[in-house]
């Protein structure tokens, strides 16, 4: 696969993961801010934990793609830092 294609897929993946991170973070912050003392173990708690799991895995994958993105641009970064 060409480097240009890898950069494209990496950028699209980062955009998708950033969108997921933003939405799950906002959803948990705005709708499920219940705290630890509420004692509710019902559906809302299950949904909150589901979104926290999605948020965590998306963050992990996002970090991997950012590292790949930097690796793919490393020659450009080195050239810019020399100037």
Question: Per-residue pLDDT for 79 more than 70?
Answer: yes
Q: Which of 23-27, 35-39, 65-69 has the lowest mean pLDDT?
A: 35-39
**Global pTM value:** 0.81
Domain ranges of the chain: 3-33+40-82
The model's confidence at residue 8, banded by pLDDT at 50, 70 and 90, is very high
Tell me the average pLDDT across 4-8. Answer: 94
Tell me the average pLDDT across 51-60. Answer: 95
At 26-46, the pLDDT tens digits run 988 888 766 555 555 677 778
DSSP string, 31-62: H----SSS---SHHHHHHHHHHHHHHHHHHHH
Distance CA 28, CA 32 (A): 5
């Amino acid at each position: 696969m060409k480097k240009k294609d890898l950069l494209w897929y990496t950028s699209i993946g980062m955009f998708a993961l950033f969108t997921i991170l933003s939405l799950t973070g906002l959803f948990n912050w705005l709708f499920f801010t219940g705290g630890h003392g509420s004692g509710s173990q019902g559906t809302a708690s299950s949904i909150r934990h589901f979104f926290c799991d999605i948020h965590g895995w998306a963050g992990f994958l996002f970090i991997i793609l950012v590292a790949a993105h930097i690796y793919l641009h490393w020659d450009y970064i080195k050239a810019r830092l020399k100037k």
